[in-house]
């Protein structure tokens, strides 16, 4: 199974500042034949289902603000929020869909400093 490890477990960032969450997979999720990273990012607010933010490691889902961006390849990935807004307080998860069992990171809780 591919193990997904996020860091940090929690962070607090001031409004308007940059927030960075890292995700590392135990093996590459880059599929050589199509050069795509099978990696997604989700945002989950209390009492709500997860919301897809990013897939293919860097493709923003329709309707997601452009302050959210994803980067990385192979085994190391990053979700960046360029200018933190109050509504971004949530838990963020990465997920690999390279192979079953699909696996999620443990989550990173993001708060306002």
Partner 1 sequence: EMQLVESGGRLVRPGRSLRLSCVASGFNFDDYGMHWVRQAPGKGLEWVATIRRNSGGIGYADSVKGRFSISRDNAKNSLYLQMNSLRPEDTALYYCAKSVAFLEYLLADAFDVWGHGTLVTVSS
Nearer to partner 1, 11 or 18 (CB): 11
Strands 10-13 and 30-31, by their bridges, are unpaired
Q: Could you tell me which residues come within 8 angstroms of residue 113 by beta carbon, excluding any fewer than 6 positions away?
A: 12, 13, 14, 17
Nearer to partner 1, 72 or 105 (CB): 105
Nearer to partner 1, 16 or 49 (CB): 49
Q: How far is the CB of 93 from partner 1 (least distance, A)?
A: 6
Q: How far is the CB of 34 from partner 1 (least distance, A)?
A: 6
Binding stretches for partner 1 (CB under 8 A): 1, 34, 36, 38, 40, 42, 44, 48-52, 55-56, 61, 93, 95, 97, 100-107
Q: How far is the CB of 109 from partner 1 (least distance, A)?
A: 11
Nearer to partner 1, 42 or 75 (CB): 42
């Amino acid at each position: 199974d591919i193990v997904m490890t996020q860091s940090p477990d929690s962070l607090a960032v001031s409004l308007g500042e940059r927030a960075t969450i890292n995700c590392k997979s135990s093996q590459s999720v880059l599929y050589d034949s199509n050069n795509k990273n099978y990696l997604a990012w989700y945002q989950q607010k209390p009492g709500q289902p997860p919301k897809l933010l990013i897939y293919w490691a860097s493709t923003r889902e329709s309707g997601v603000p452009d302050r959210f961006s994803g980067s990385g390849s192979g085994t190391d990935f990053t979700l960046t929020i360029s200018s933190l807004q109050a509504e971004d307080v949530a838990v963020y998860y990465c997920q690999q869909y390279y192979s079953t069992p699909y696996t999620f990171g443990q989550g990173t809780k993001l708060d306002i400093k």
